[in-house]
Structure 1
Amino acid sequence: MTHRHRLAARRRHETIAIEHEGQKYKVGLGREMVCDGSCGGSVRFGPIAEVFISAQKVNTQADVLAKDGAILMSLALQYGCPPDVIAHAMKRNPDGSPASPLGRAAAYLVEEKV
């Protein structure tokens, strides 16, 4: 079994707002701080290692499914699955756009070249 990268207790978190099929979602992205050399050196932020998704209407089916999917995406990232593999595995609409809010989040990971 592959080893899961456990995240540090403190990390950077950024939030983006997306809309998918008329529903509004907030996507939270967590990155670990990486210290170059000793901790007295420069600090940069590593790749996105966790994803949170919340629908505008809390505790609806859309909200629950988005949150559960984000947990699975986070685990995949922490086990070393590349973001482009995750994004490629997501269902697409006939025009090639992501078919779900989770797919939109995965596409964002690739677009940002995390």
Structure 2
Amino acid sequence: MTRRKLPNCRPSLTFQVQHGQNVYTVSVGGDGENAAVAEVFIGGPKAGTDLQAAVRDAAILTSLALQHDCPIETINHALTRDDGGRPASIVGSVVAAIVELGGTSHG
């Protein structure tokens, strides 16, 4: 499976997501061709912490999955949910927000 190369200039959208007591800034980048979601950046409220590192790594892994043509809907379905069906992690909340905003992926 080959990773999709993204153009140097591509569209993006920035928004905020609340998960638990924290607010995160999220930027989602398109692939430049059909505006499909191809990359995710998540900025946490606690710079320099293990939480921030884990959140950034989760965004990188999500981006890599998207660039290898895993549909955002598949990622959304696979992530852990709580007893009420809500995302159990910040990456789950971010992916759910992307899907709710109408984001799609290339795959």
Q: Tell me, yes or no, whether TM beats 0.5.
A: yes
> Tell me, which stretches of 5 or more residues in structure 2 are unaligned?
none
- Are 1:22 and 2:16 matched, yes or no? no
**Conservation of the 8 A alpha-carbon contact between 2:37 and 2:103:** no
Q: Which runs of 4+ in 1 moved over 3 A?
A: none
What corresponds to 1:62 in structure 2?
51
**Separation in structure 1 between the aligned mates of residue 51 and residue 83 of structure 2, nearest angstrom:** 22
Query: Equivalent residue for 2:8?
Result: 9
Q: Bigger CA drift: 102-111 or 92-101? A: 102-111
Equivalent position of 2:97 in the other structure: 108
Further displaced range: 66-75 or 56-65? 56-65
- Which structure shows the bigger proportion of residues in strand conformation? 1
Equivalent residues of 2:55, 2:90 under 8 A apart: yes
RCO greater where, 1 or 2, for CA within 8 Å and sep 6 or more? Answer: 2
- The answer on whether the counterparts of 1:10 and 1:32 sit within 8 Å (CA) in structure 2 is no
Bigger Rg over Cα: 1
Residue matched to 1:98: 87
* 2:39–2:62 CA contact under 8 A, matched in 1: yes
Deviations 1:86-108 (A, max 9, x none): 01111101100001110011112
TM-score, length-normalised on structure 1?
0.85
Offset of 1:12 from its aligned partner?
1.3
Q: Percent identity?
A: 37
* TM-score, normalisation: structure 2: 0.90
Which position in structure 2 is the counterpart of 1:42?
A: none
In 1: Cα distance, 2:103 partner to 2:17 partner: 18
* More moved, 6-15 vs 74-83: 6-15
How many residue pairs get aligned? The number is: 103
Report the counterpart of residue 74 of structure 2 in structure 1.
85
